Amino acid sequence: MTMSQNAVEFGKTVETIPNGPGAAAILAAGVGCAAIGVLAFASELSPGLRGLLNFYNPVGPLSGKTTVTIIVWLVAWYGLSRIWRKETVNMRAVNIAALVLLGLGFLLTFPPFWYLFV
């Protein structure tokens, strides 16, 4: 018995199985990537924020950037998965948004990019 036959037997076709929880995980990963980029860039521009993100002196502000990013990622994942738990969402749009956020996060953690604005 194939997986699609199994799904049909239980009253659901592959097209009606919600993909929202999976989409939430993918988009939350993009949000997390963008969050660390934004925090890295903002802490370079603001000495006050850099000091605020210094949770552990031997590591410096990186400790706060990563901690806050993990919290943002988990909150985004939880929130999106609750909203989309029974939804079938457009995966193409979710994947494109996640890739754009990933690219933004990468750019904002790249020091030569910072110097265009500093």
Contact in structure between 82 and 20 (CB atoms under 8 Å): no
Q: How far apart are CA 61 and CA 16, in angstroms?
A: 46
CB count within 10 Å of CB 84 equals 19
What confidence tier does 115 reach under pLDDT thresholds 50, 70, 90? confident
pTM of the model: 0.82
Mean pLDDT of 85-111: 95
**Contacts of residue 114, Cβ cutoff 8 Å, sequence gap at least 6:** 41, 44, 108
Give residue-wise pLDDT tens across range 38-79: 999 999 889 999 999 999 999 999 999 999 999 999 999 999
Q: What letter represents residue 24's amino acid? A: A
- % pLDDT > 90, the chain: 75
pLDDT of residue 33: 97
Q: Picking from 3-12, 26-35, 100-109, which range would have the lowest pLDDT averaged per residue?
A: 3-12
